[in-house]
Structure 1
Amino acid sequence: MPESSLYLTKFEHRAVIKFLVKKGKTAKEIFEETSSVYGESGTSSATVKRWTRLFQQGRETLEDDLRSGRPNTAVTDENIEKDNLEEICTRIVTVDETWIRQYDPESKQEPMQWIEKGERPPKKFKVEKSASKLIATIFWDCEGVLLIDYLPKKTTMNAEYYAGLLKKVREAIVEKRRGKISKGILFLQDNAPVHTARIARQALLETGFDEVNHPPYSPDLAPSDYFSFKNLKKDLRGRRFGDDEEMKVAVNEHFLAKDAGYFLSGIQALYKRCQRNLVTQVHGVMLCAAVYVMIHRASLVEAIVYNFG
């Protein structure tokens, strides 16, 4: 079969799904069958599930629903928003850097304990953070960690180094997430200088990822900051590691202990945070409006007007 014939439009993919639904195939069977034929250019599992459900409920059209009207199916606006949110979440890949220390003492609140009335509290000695630490760059999505890179000591994290990581994470996505590249990656990173430098921008362009603009000074809209790093640091705090390798093992064990639902919840939280942010922080409008646009199939102007009235 010619290579060009393996690339279908989204409507052609939907027609294939509809045909297989009519034959009585399940979403799982349809995904497996289309993946075996179309490979990397095939439709994602989430999209197959969504359209299989729609066709099973009696939907006939292959067209997208217009946001201003109700679809001629049993699917409600609420379900459409949920389906769109699921689809968008499967496309997001996010990244950030963080310090991992051989020893990071517990906060004052963490070791607190109850004591009897009149009993003197135990003495607590001031403990300093370990000077030995590594910079970890962690790429992850709704299914789990894609790539963890530890910056070699005496190496500077600069645009050239980061550009190399972008190439590596694309390779990791191809290897670990079949169909994700063809669906289109929504890449979310903050505005750190190494991310916005010309060399890094060019490398990002070459990956084919679509970058989602992130407002400055907004850790509350960075999934790594408000979710994954926060939980990782809490898990590692108070533990002593003999060397860098022990630190790396602990980080890997932390993430391996989490299921896909854990990571999905962290990505989905971005939507709710964007809803709050749109009405409280003007500087967050671009990221939040962009997410609103993708979920509701609206225009950027619609998103801003809807949320700001």
Structure 2
Amino acid sequence: MDKSKIRVIFEYEFRCGTSAAQTVRNINEVCGNDVANERTVCLWFEKFRSGDFNLENEPHGRPETKVDNDELKTLVEENPSQPTCDLAAKFDVTIPTILDHLKQIDKINKLGRWVPRELNEHQKRNRLEACLSLLSRHKDKPFLHRIITCDEKWILFDNRKRSAQCLGKDGVPKHSPKLNIHQKKLMVSVWWSSAGIIQYSFMKPGQSVTADVYCNQLDETMRMLAIKQPTLVDRDRPVLLQDSSRPHVTQRMLLKLQQLDLETLCHPLYSPDLAPTNYHFFQALDHFLQGKILNCQQAVENAFCDFIATCSPGFFEAGIKKLPLRWQNCVDNLGAYFD
């Protein structure tokens, strides 16, 4: 049967509320085995659910993508429960395209929630062993006060969020302007400990965190740490908690750590749920920025400074002190994600 006719049947069955599996059975019973397969029907049904009822094939080739992976990551981490069709609609792309980009940023769907990736058994075991070791070390000799940690984040200029409206039966929702997905943003790099902020810096437009940039930041962090927490530097010695992104594990960085005689804390791969900057600092920053519209780079920098000014002295200590509980949660879940 001509494919264009089969797609008409797909749409008909979809509008009738027929499941993909039943649609395949209905078509193959009438037209012969293997005329339709469930994977193809599922893809077309996903397209119909997104509101696209165009029955023509997508153009071949690789058109220029409209998806900014940084923006996609921000959207997914702000609301991990968003369905794929909603994400595709926001970027005005097809569902297969959004799935490709989600794969590029290591996001997979787990029970209706986007998580960093599907951990294999080896990765779960590494997380489990790392957390057991950290818990044992902390029990023998507490070291949370020695931890310094860091990470980078994109801050959007426009932080408005569209929210649901409670309306009566005949109520008309208020319209809000569609947000620009590809809007301006500025990257901030922040270094802190349980005692507070050590130092932070904003990347210049177009600049990324390379090994050279990261080493310079580490030098500045150690200089500021000697001023703000001299006891930690001279007597206790700091311990660096960082993730395993590329700038953090280069040969240049390893030499820098040796030069500074700085210990790094064991941090397993793909573990943002065990990184205080992710689960504590940036989460609070997102909440503070929600609804704010920042019209220039200086406004972004001022907003970040305002956020730091609102943080109580106990805010930073609380974020670090959550680590043993999160290590235990990871152990209790045998290395799997627990958030």
Matched letter for residue 327 of structure 2: C
Q: Describe how 1:95-244 pairs up with structure 2 within 5 A.
A: 95-106=150-161, 108=162, 111-129=163-181, 131-181=183-233, 182-244=235-297
Q: Deviations over 1:208-257 (max 9, x none)?
A: 32101211111100111111011101211321112111101110110121
Q: Deviations over 1:13-50 (max 9, x none)?
A: xxxxxxxxxxxxxxxxxxxxxxxxxxxxxxxxxxxxxx
Q: Are 1:90 and 2:145 an aligned pair?
A: yes
Q: Matches of 1:90 and 1:112 in 2, distance apart? A: 42
Q: Judging changes above 3 Å, is the alpha-carbon distance between structure 1 residues 112 and 88 closer, same or farther for their aligned structure 2 residues?
A: farther
Q: CA deviation at 1:130?
A: 5.6
Q: Matches of 2:336 and 2:253 in 1, distance apart? A: 24
Q: Describe how 1:4-15 pairs up with structure 2 within 5 A.
A: none
Q: Matches of 1:154 and 1:114 in 2, distance apart? A: 42
Q: Matches of 1:178 and 1:118 in 2, distance apart? A: 65
Matched letter for residue 141 of structure 1: S
What do you get for the CA RMSD once the two structures are aligned? 2.4
Q: Matches of 2:263 and 2:253 in 1, distance apart? A: 14
Q: Which residue of 1 aligns with 2:106?
A: none
Contact 1:102–1:240 (8 Å) recurs in 2: yes
Percent identity of paired positions between Structure 1 and Structure 2: 23
Matched letter for residue 235 of structure 1: F
Q: Matches of 2:330 and 2:254 in 1, distance apart? A: 27
What secondary structure sits across from 1:179 in the alignment? helix
Q: Judging changes above 3 Å, is the alpha-carbon distance between structure 1 residues 251 and 130 closer, same or farther for their aligned structure 2 residues?
A: farther
Q: CA deviation at 1:116?
A: 4.0
Q: Judging changes above 3 Å, is the alpha-carbon distance between structure 1 residues 229 and 143 closer, same or farther for their aligned structure 2 residues?
A: same
TM-score (norm 1): 0.60
Q: Matches of 1:120 and 1:204 in 2, distance apart? A: 60
Q: How many residues align?
A: 200
Q: Matches of 1:175 and 1:156 in 2, distance apart? A: 28
Rg bigger for which structure?
Answer: 2
Matched letter for residue 326 of structure 2: R
Q: Describe how 1:53-68 pairs up with structure 2 within 5 A.
A: none
Structure 1 unaligned spans of 5+: 1-80, 285-309
What secondary structure sits across from 1:131 in the alignment? coil
